[in-house]
Chains A and B, each alone.
Chain A
Amino acid sequence: MEFLSYLISGISLGSVYAIIALGYTMVYGIAKMLNFAHGDVIMVGGYISFCAMSYLELPGWLSVVLAMAVCTVLGVVIEGLAYKPLRQATSLAVLITAIGVSYFLQNAAQLIWGASPKGYTPLVPALNAKGEPNALQLFDGQLSIPYLSLLIMAVCIIVMVALTFFTGQTKLGKAMRACSEDKGAAQLMGINVNRTISVTFAIGSALAAVAGVLLCSFTTSLMPTTGSMPGIKAFTAAVFGGIGSIPGAFLGGILLGIIESLAKAYISTQLANAILFAVLIIVLLVRPSGLLGKYVPEKV
């Protein structure tokens, strides 16, 4: 029973990683760049939601909508100002710019909101009005699943299904896949590649805002560096699952969450991250393209 509760906690933490990883993987798939600032957009999303709830006293769900709107705009602006001028530059230049944007966002957040952690009120509080745990009790209360965890998992599944539908069935989604394969040929089809990349950043950043709110609800605290470690882990998850692949990011995120949770519970809290990254290295040694990395036999 104990194992099961660690497993569930791992899956819900992994669901947050998966949502972040989906943003990473979409941007990588289409723009062929690692947006290292993605984790910091999560942090901005967290702060926007925090301010909306604490200062404007808006309800939680509305704070999420507001955070998504702000992050969408932020993502498109970052892409337009920092990445678009480098479209023809080497990938190394873009990577360094992304790292720069990441530090810029962290320092800007520190200027605006200060360095000390803020207490974040979770979307679903841990205890209800009567002081009982806000959780689903199973097996006569032996297994307790927090409603927050259920919410996180549900959101993750909805996001995953929606993205799969979007890229598989809609015109814009298919255009994104076309751009991800061959930008020149996509242009010859009449696809506006720059606009498609902007839309990808918009979607990725909106997801980052959702992830930010869920992450802060999980950890109940918020500071300017909140996004960086989960950002790196989600990037790991995306590589783990096969970067560029949507189901891969989902699977990678969930597995990473489970490994982290179980490693913390049964091996060592301090070593959890080391174990996590060790598993990544082993997986990449065995399967360089990740668990679900794309491999299509191509005839020429």
Chain B
Amino acid sequence: MLKVNDINVYYGAIHAIKGVSFHVNAGEVVTLIGANGAGKSTTLNTVCGLLHTRTGSIEFLGQNLAGIPAHKLVERGLAHVPEGRRIFQQMTVEENLEMGAYTQPRSGIDPNLERVYEQFPRLKERRKQVAGTLSGGEQQMLAMGRGLMSNPKLLMLDEPSMGLAPILVEQIFDIINRLHHAGTTILLVEQNARMALSVADRGYVLETGKIVATGTGDELLHDEAVKKAYLGG
């Protein structure tokens, strides 16, 4: 579904992503793990069109994404739930979700709202509430729900567990599992490697802009080097 081919990304003179390649098949949950500054978020931001590659290509559903602006990718089925949630704090929960369905025809909004409210009953309770007043966990649910409103073929989640209490982290990963079983294809970027690998079909380990290891979730969970570096021994 998604094929990233030997991409190089620069921030000015800084070479942030050095020849990264990976792919995501339909129905899979694939995770990119790695430490702070390894280039995980940069990779996602490049896939969704916010950043641009200098060399290399990104193919989504068989089409090259070069030169397509970020806002056009949503129509093609790519949804990105960015790091730090980035919900619209001054808009209501429902308005946030409506924005998620911006590219959808009017008739598609209500069924999607129903579906998201079914996944996240808490959001339904708070639909008229201003999003800035939600708790951290609820804001993350809102960000994910907003991403699902565009009927994405591929959902990209950037650090969904960031800054959440352990119990909420578990909830978020439960949701990811549920989405997976419902057939959603997910590309997950996480610092919480253990959780990410336990829900993922496959994973890639990023280190200073390069992929240093890859395998199934289980393989990586039991890989000695990965254990040492990311799973706390």
Contact = CB atoms under 8 A, between A and B. Distances in A.
A189 B95 CA distance: 12
Contact of A178 (B70, B88, B103, B132): B88
A187 B50 contact: yes
A78 interface: no
Interface string B114-141: 0000000000000000101111100100
Nearest to A244: B90
Contact of B133 (A175, A189, A296): A296
A298 interface: yes
Contacts of B133: 296-299
B64 interface: no
B80 interface: yes
Contacts of B87: 185
B159 interface: no
Contact of A181 (B89, B134, B150): B89
Interface string B81-112: 01000111111000100111011000000000
A296 B90 contact: yes
B163 interface: yes
Contact of A174 (B89, B98, B130): B98
B88 A185 contact: yes
A184 B82 contact: yes
Contacts of B88: 177-178, 181-182, 185
24 contacts: A171-B98, A171-B102, A174-B95, A174-B98, A175-B99, A181-B91, A185-B82, A185-B87, A186-B99, A187-B71, A188-B74, A188-B80, A189-B71, A189-B102, A190-B74, A190-B75, A190-B150, A191-B102, A294-B90, A296-B90, A296-B130, A296-B132, A296-B133, A298-B133
A138 to B, nearest CB: 42
Given A171-B102, A174-B91, A177-B90, A188 B132 contact: no
Interface string A172-208: 0011011001101111111111000000000000000
Given A174-B95, A175-B102, A190-B71, A300 B90 contact: no
A193 B75 CA distance: 15
Contacts of B74: 188-190
Given A189-B100, A191-B102, A299-B136, A184 B71 contact: no
Contacts of A184: 50, 82, 86
Interface range, A side:
20 to 34
A178 B71 contact: no
B135 A299 contact: yes
Contacts, number: 83
Interface string A261-300: 0000000000000000000000000000000001011111
A-B pairs with the 6 shortest C-beta distances? A190-B74, A190-B103, A185-B86, A298-B132, A187-B70, A296-B132
Nearest to A180: B90
Given A174-B98, A188-B80, 6 more contacts: A177-B88, A185-B86, A188-B50, A188-B71, A189-B102, A191-B102
Contacts of A188: 48, 50, 70-71, 74, 79-80, 82, 86
Contacts of B73: 190
Contacts of A193: 71
A136 B136 CA distance: 58
B230 to A, nearest CB: 26
Contacts of A178: 88, 91, 99
B146 interface: yes
A173 B98 CA distance: 12
A174 B91 CA distance: 9
Contacts of B80: 188
Nearest to A182: B86
B132 A297 contact: yes
B146 A189 contact: yes
Nearest to A185: B86
A177 B89 contact: no
Interface string A90-122: 000000000000000000000000000000000
Contacts of A177: 88, 90-91, 95
